[in-house]
Amino acid sequence: MLNREHTVVGFIGIGVMGKSMAEHLLAAGYSLIVYTRTEQKAKDLVKKGAVWASSSMEVAKKANVIMTMVGYPADVEEIYFGEHGLITNGQKGSYLIDFTTSAPSLAVRIYSAAKEMGIHAIDAPVSGGDVGAREAKLSIMAGGEEEVFDAVHPLLALLGTNIVYQGKAGAGQHTKMCNQIAIASNMIGVCEALVYAENAGLDPETVLKSITTGAAGSWSLSNLAPRILDGNFEPGFYIKHFIKDMAIAIEEAKQMGLKVPGLTLSKSLYDKLAELGEENSGTQALYKYWKL
């Protein structure tokens, strides 16, 4: 069990979700060191008591629990490995928690390299978007050694309400792929349902009152469909990051010899939107496909 008094948490990646997650740690009384490529993004956290670090290496040397929430597998690779990486510079006995959705194989590499250095590592991708991060209601899917998961669970509990140990290193990332596969086809259904309602002359908001609580109910239908109707396409989760996740899932499925037609279709639609300049919009902007 980690002692709060002697725990210094490092948080790398202060984006749409990372900032809220870091705020919860501060609010709980933990000492917090933050690093992100754009220092301005950490300004509010510093005002609330966080300490700014100039590099991931500085975080590694000062924090004994380090959380990362960045954009792409390449970012994870850069932060964890190499001369200035977390594994090379981390304290023996420290804990590394990667919340980034990344390749399961990379999670296994991080776990193995960290263990050689006497450092504990788990992959713990999350789901719930900006709302889940802001309300500390994220779903957290963890892979690694169970005793390490148990040790950091009190910290994870400050960020989410559905925290599940999935198995050995990489299992968290594989579970997140299942999550993204389910969302991919569901988002098509959500958008098609709204477009159908409009073309049938129905009031989409009234339609949602009926279908969100029935068998068609889903998180996307309840949380993202209202944003679509409000014309709000700001990111709770970026299209560009969703495309990255789908590409990982498709590659993993290919290695298993598994066909994923729903996922493949969804990625093709999002690829089209990205080509049209919507890569920084939220995933609910898929609705715009039917307005082209």
Q: Which of 74, 75, 81, 71 is nearest to 101 (CA)?
A: 71
Measured CA to CA, the distance from residue 50 to residue 8 in angstroms comes to 11
Q: Measured between alpha carbons, how far is residue 146 from residues 176, 186, 270 in Å?
A: 18, 32, 36
Collapse the DSSP code of 167 into the 3-class scheme (helix H, G, I; strand E, B; otherwise coil) and give the result.
strand
Between 171-199 and 104-116, two packed helices, what is the crossing angle to 10 degrees? 150
Token pair in block for residue 69: 């929430």
Q: What is the number of alpha carbons within 13 Å of residue 281 lying toward its C-beta? A: 22
**Do 190 and 221 contact (CB within 8 A), yes or no?**
yes
Token pair in block for residue 287: 């609705």
Residue 176 is a catalytic residue:
yes
**Do 148 and 95 contact (CB within 8 A), yes or no?**
yes
Q: Which of 244, 240, 222, 219 is nearest to 285 (CA)?
A: 240
Taking the CA atoms of residue 130, residue 136, residue 137 and residue 143 in that order, the dihedral angle to the nearest 10 degrees is 90
Measured CA to CA, the distance from residue 15 to residue 69 in angstroms comes to 8
The active-site residue, picked from 47, 48, 92, 176, is: 176
The catalytic site residues sit at: 176
